[in-house]
Every structure is written in structure tokens, then in C-alpha cells.
Structure 1
Amino acid sequence: MLLPWSAYQAGQSPFVTFFSKLGVPYIGSIMNIVVLTAALSSLNSGLYCTGRILRSMAMGGSAPSFMAKMSRQHVPYAGILATLVVYVVGVFLNYLVPSRVFEIVLNFASLGIIASWAFIIVCQMRLRKAIKEGKAADVSFKLPGAPFTSWLTLLFLLSVLVLMAFDYPNGTYTIAALPIIGILLVIGWFGVRKRVAEIHSTAPVVEEDEEQQEIVFKPETAS
């Protein structure tokens, strides 16, 4: 709203464009430094968080066991190195298709967000069914309008995928890659399910009564 839409350029930060128009000396360079510092800060925090998330997943059996390795300084270097590999892939994509790399990353990130919400809704529907069958305890907070709103949400998420498919070429190729992603996820699940079952079979279970609370271990069942 401060400048005409035609004044902004795709390859330049809008902050740099605006402050450069003010005529203040070196303000464009200063804003570039600010934007670059913010990007590096975000990159560092992502590296920090992702390395520890991968370690937690490895300890829970949902990621390869080597991801749980730590250095003498208690740094989860395996998860950090795996994250760095993904960062390098991003740099390589930026070298190959600099004009499309942002859309490619954005599309794949959108798939992750859509999948997360879809699984949340599916789990809510399964929980609702289990409560009706008496297999799970009732909950105090219920989704308003369920199950209609549950199906409506899934339909909305599906419509987003359809719209992405019509966004050629990035969106179309992203949706076309869904079968490959699905196959990789299935292979990954078969690779970790035995370890997840072993960890679950020896996990402590909290049993509570009115007078005391104790932790017991589940007995292992024969396969």
C-alpha cells in the first residue's frame, strides 16, 4: 500500500525496495544485512530443533537408530548431519532452478501440512468410533458438528491438492510425486515397525488408583 504494486520486484525484498525509495543512503544494503541475519537465525534454529527431534524420534523407534547418537558434548550430531544434507539439497536446487526453488519447497511443505491435518482428522474420527463402541473413554471437548465437519475438512484438504495439481509445472509435479512419497513412507514403516513394537512392549505404563500411583512394565507378548 505504500508503493504501487509495479514498484516491487520478484528477486528483491519488499523492505529493501521500500526503504531504497526513501532516498536514505545505504538503507538498501542495511536492510539486506537485516534480512540475511534473520534468514541465518532461522536456519540455525531449524538445525537445532530438527537435530533433536530426529534424536527423539530415533529413541522412540520412528527414525533410524543411528539418529540417536550424540557427541561427548551431548550434541545430536547424527540428526544435525542428516539435516545438513537436506540443506545441501536445497542449495543444489537453488543452483539448478533458482526461479522455481521457492515454489518447489513451498509445495512440499504444503504437502506436509495437509498430511498432518488429514491424519489429525482421521485420528479424531477413529477416536469417535472407539468411544461409541466403548473401547475408549469419552472426552470432555468434542469437535463441533462432527462427523459432518470432519468430512468437510477432509474434502477441503482434498480440494487444495486438486488446485495444486493444476499449478503447472511445480504443483503438478509435486502431486505426481505423491505415489513415490507414499511408497517410501510404507517402506519406512516396515523398516521401523518391529523396533517400535519392541520399544512399546517394554515401555512403562502408569497405573493409578485412588491411593497410589505406580509404574509397571507391560509383559512382552509372543508374536
Structure 2
Amino acid sequence: MEKNKYGLKENLDRGLKERHVQLIGLGGAIGVGLFLGSATAMEAAGPAVLLAYTIAGIIIYFVMRAMGEVLVEYPVSGAFSAHAAIFQGPLMGYLTGWSYWFMWIGTGMAEITAIGIYMNYWYPDLPQWLTALCAVIFMTAINFIAVSLYGEFEFWFALIKIVTIILMIIGCFGIIIFGIGNGGIPTGIDNLWINGGFMPNGIHGVLLALVMVMYSYLGIEIVGVTAGEAHNPEKTLASAIDKVFWRILIFYVLALGVVMCVYPWNEIGSLGSPFVLVFNKLGIGFAADFINFVVITSALSSCNSGLFSTGRMLYNLALQRKAPSFLAKVGKSRVPKAGILVSAFVLLFGVFLNYVAPGQVFVYITSVASFGAMWTWIVILISQIRYRKTLSEEEVKKLHYKMPYSPYSNYISLLFIAGVIIASALDPSTQIALFIFPAWLILLIIIYYLTGMNNTGLSNPKNKN
């Protein structure tokens, strides 16, 4: 049993290799939204969506670096929840941990429901609830056996997405330069500005796209949750975080950029998935089936990551005495089986609710989940600022993995995220979360004080004599 710098005795297996963490981080950055939802962002901003992805990518990079600075010094399973408890107080750690748990539960509910829908593309008579049940059972079994098996599955899930995107990019270059699939006529890159200009809907369109783009990055911080089980975390975590920005440029900006060179941006939304369009143009007849398969693996990956992260978050909250003590138990394989089981049960209950309750209820759950990610990013940025304040100038110089331009980069990132939240209030589909998420936090605070959890918690090790 390993006792970390917080005094918490963790008993998890450091079985995640560097290649696992690298691909887990990449898988977190590339979701179903890139394959199916990117057309919506294109409709809002036109080719200037590339600017939105780049700006949002820089902000996410700063968030990840802020998390990395503290994480490399204190690599624990609860990551930002444990860091918030130390540097912002036990209440913040508690709120962050449970909100992050809820975020992944909401995301997982959406993903396993989506799996059923995608499977119906091939098997129209297959009940969606049966597909969802099988998906949760399968992913729970993977998470139960060993953390290395989880890492292996995430490695291959992410690899499928990466190979698909690379093939699409190569295919687009073939169309742009040589006219392959376009009658031998190269399309060039004129489509980036001849259909109303590079920014056809003005700055308003870019701002609207920024909201959607930021939501597409939800889950990227899962690299932090691997900290308690990463082999050689100082090297592994820093390496994974460093590559985030370049991954975003390649797998979002470059991929969408070449698609908009091949197809006018104002046609993509009405024609379907950009990836299906490109593969069809190249003469690949099974393009729709292939992308459907990729999307299913992406959804399974999200479900897999959801069970992994929620199980670890519940485990760390239990160690902090902010969750029932039985959730701190681990099995022979040194994985938090109790936390994984609880999360799997809630996922299935959520799917049941999705089928029997009004559709609006599900919208509320996913809205709160989305705001849970924003909350997490804000907490990460503030925790790093507070952490720096505990260090002397000499200690700052000795940090293994510094947040660039801190604290100014923190303040800019916080203002940007605040702007996204304000912009969300203008969108009828997301504004409801501005009311529901505060209600969720109030409920958590009431439970916190009624159960006496305010009398227990972590403290800053630097304050101990």
C-alpha cells in the first residue's frame, strides 16, 4: 500500500504504461463529436471554425499544463479533486469530485444510448436497451480484471480513431492536389474563402462555434485520473500532456481544414458526416458502415473511460471521507471494484430513465454533465495558482513541469471559460444548465453539512510541522 504526499494510503496498481496513457489522453481529445458533430460547428463559423478550434485548443493546453504541474508533484488517483481539497479546501475537493463523477455518468448515459442507435443502423429490430446493457456489462468486466487491460482496450480504441483520421487526411490531400475521386481535377484550397469568405458569419459565428468546440473537448482531462496508476508518472504524465496541443492541431484543425478544402463548408452540414463524404468521394463504398463502426468504438471508449474515471474518483473521495467507506475497497487485481460497480449500476438506471421518462429529463442530465467539465477546468486552474503560492521562489525554479506564463495564462483561461459559460446562456439548448448545475451544487453542499463531512478532510502537507 502506497502512502502519498497527502497522507492517503492508495492501494492501486501502477499498471498503465506510457503508451497507454498517451493513447488515453488522445482518446479523450477525440470523441464522437469530431466524426458526427463537427458539421454543426462548421455551419456556425464556416472555415473560421479552424480559428475556434485553435483558440480553444490553446486554452485547453493551459488547463492541461496547470493540471500537470501539480499532478507531477502529487500523482494521486483523485487528481484535481484531491488537489482542490488540499489547496482550496475540503469542500471544493468534495464538490469537484462528485461533479466530475456526475459528468462522466451523464456522458456515459448518452454514449451507451447512442451505441444502441448506431447498432440499429445495421440491426433495426435490435432493442436499444439490450445493446446498452451489453455495452455496460462488457466494459465493467474490462475494468474489473486489471488496469492494464483497461489501458490496452483504450489503446486500441484510440488507435482506430487515429488511423481513421489519418486515412481521411491523406485522402483529402489526394483530392486537393491530384483530384483523386474528383475526375482528376484538383479541388485546391479555394473553398476556404470563396463561399462568403473565411469568416462568413462574422465574429458572432466564431463565438457561437467556440461554445460547441469547447464542449467537444470534454473528457480530455482524464489523463489526470490515470495518475494513481501510471508507471513512472513524472515522465508519463508530462509526455502525454505535452502532446495535447499538437494532437488538437492535427486531429481537429488539419482534419477539418482539408475537409473544407474538398467540400464547400455550407454544403457539409446538409450532406452528413464529413468523414463519410470524403470516403464516398474516394470511391469507398462501405464508407458509411466503416464510420458507423468507428463511432461505435468511440462511444464504447467513452463508456470505458467513464467507468474508469468514476471508479477512481469515488475511490479517492472515499479515502478523503467524502464518500461511503466501502468505495475505498479494492480487489485482488487492485482496482476499485466497488466504485466501478456503483457507477455501472447508475449508468444502467440512467438508460432505463431515458426510455421511460420524458426526453427533457435526459437533456437536463447531459447539460449538468457538460457544466461539470467547465467546473473541473476552472478548479484545475485555481488549484495550480494556489499551489504556486505555497512555494518559495527557489521551489518554483525546481518544479519538474511548470505551467507556462503562470499566473497570467491562468487568468486568461479563466476569463475565456467564463465567456463560454455566458455564451451558453444565450443558447436555448444549454441555458437550462445554468439553473440546474447550481442546484446540483447546492444539493451537494446540503449533504456535505448534514452528514458531517465538513469535519473531515485533507490538509496542505506544507502546513504540517
TM-score range, shorter chain: 0.5 to 0.7
**Partner residue in 2 for 1:118:** 378
Q: Secondary structure at the residue paired with 2:322?
A: coil
**Partner residue in 1 for 2:445:** 186
Structure 1 residues 146-185: aligned runs within 5 Å = 153-168=413-428, 170-185=429-444
Instruction: Provide the rounded CA distance (Å) in 1 between the counterparts of 2:368 and 2:293.
Output: 28
- Cα 1:92–1:173 change in 2 (3 A) is farther
**Partner residue in 2 for 1:81:** 341
Structure 1 residues 87-126: aligned runs within 5 Å = 87-88=347-348, 91=351, 95=355, 96-97=358-359, 101=363, 105=366, 107-123=367-383
From 39, 43, 57, the counterpart of 2:317: 57
From 32, 38, 42, the counterpart of 2:302: 42
Assess if the C-alpha contact under 8 Å between 1:16 and 1:32 holds in 2: no
Instruction: Provide the rounded CA distance (Å) in 2 between the counterparts of 1:25 and 1:143.
Output: 47
- Cα 1:93–1:145 change in 2 (3 A) is same
Whichever residue aligns with residue 55 of structure 1, its letter is Y
Assess if the C-alpha contact under 8 Å between 2:268 and 2:274 holds in 1: no
Deviation, structure 1 residue 58:
1.2
TM-align CA RMSD: 4.0
Whichever residue aligns with residue 325 of structure 2, its letter is S
Instruction: Provide the rounded CA distance (Å) in 2 between the counterparts of 1:121 and 1:30.
Output: 39
Deviation, structure 1 residue 68:
1.8
Deviation, structure 1 residue 126:
5.1
Asked if residue 140 in structure 1 is aligned to residue 393 in structure 2, the reply is no
Instruction: Provide the rounded CA distance (Å) in 2 between the counterparts of 1:44 and 1:177.
Output: 26
Encode CA deviations 1:16-57: one digit per residue, 9 max, x unaligned: 343244443333213312321232133223313331332132
Instruction: Provide the rounded CA distance (Å) in 1 between the counterparts of 2:457 and 2:305.
Output: 28
Instruction: Provide the rounded CA distance (Å) in 2 between the counterparts of 1:150 and 1:72.
Output: 41
- Cα 1:45–1:122 change in 2 (3 A) is closer
Deviation, structure 1 residue 86:
4.3
Deviation, structure 1 residue 183:
0.8
- Cα 1:158–1:44 change in 2 (3 A) is closer
Q: Please list every run of 5 or more consecutive structure 2 residues that lacks an aligned counterpart in the other structure.
A: 1-259, 398-402
Assess if the C-alpha contact under 8 Å between 2:312 and 2:339 holds in 1: yes
Encode CA deviations 1:91-134: one digit per residue, 9 max, x unaligned: 35764539x85x963x4344223323433444456567x66xxx
- Cα 1:18–1:90 change in 2 (3 A) is farther
Higher Rg: 1
Q: Please list every run of 5 or more consecutive structure 1 residues that lacks an aligned counterpart in the other structure.
A: 207-217
Instruction: Provide the rounded CA distance (Å) in 1 between the counterparts of 2:409 and 2:295.
Output: 41
Whichever residue aligns with residue 434 of structure 2, its letter is I
Aligned pair count reads: 192
Whichever residue aligns with residue 80 of structure 1, its letter is I
Assess if the C-alpha contact under 8 Å between 2:368 and 2:436 holds in 1: no
Q: Secondary structure at the residue paired with 1:172?
A: coil
From 31, 36, 40, the counterpart of 2:291: 31
Deviation, structure 1 residue 176:
1.1
Instruction: Provide the rounded CA distance (Å) in 1 between the counterparts of 2:312 and 2:349.
Output: 20
**Partner residue in 1 for 2:457:** 196
Instruction: Provide the rounded CA distance (Å) in 1 between the counterparts of 2:445 and 2:416.
Output: 25
Instruction: Provide the rounded CA distance (Å) in 2 between the counterparts of 1:127 and 1:152.
Output: 18
From 14, 25, 30, the counterpart of 2:274: 14
Whichever residue aligns with residue 396 of structure 2, its letter is S
Deviation, structure 1 residue 143:
7.5
Assess if the C-alpha contact under 8 Å between 2:315 and 2:328 holds in 1: yes
Q: Secondary structure at the residue paired with 2:438?
A: helix
Q: Secondary structure at the residue paired with 2:340?
A: helix
Q: Secondary structure at the residue paired with 1:140?
A: helix
Deviation, structure 1 residue 188:
4.1
> Normalised by the size of structure 2, how large is the TM-score?
0.34
Assess if the C-alpha contact under 8 Å between 2:368 and 2:437 holds in 1: no
Compare relative contact order (CA 8 Å, sep 6+) and give the higher one, 1 or 2: 2
> Normalised by the size of structure 1, how large is the TM-score?
0.62
**Partner residue in 2 for 1:3:** 263
**Partner residue in 2 for 1:212:** none
Assess if the C-alpha contact under 8 Å between 1:8 and 1:17 holds in 2: no
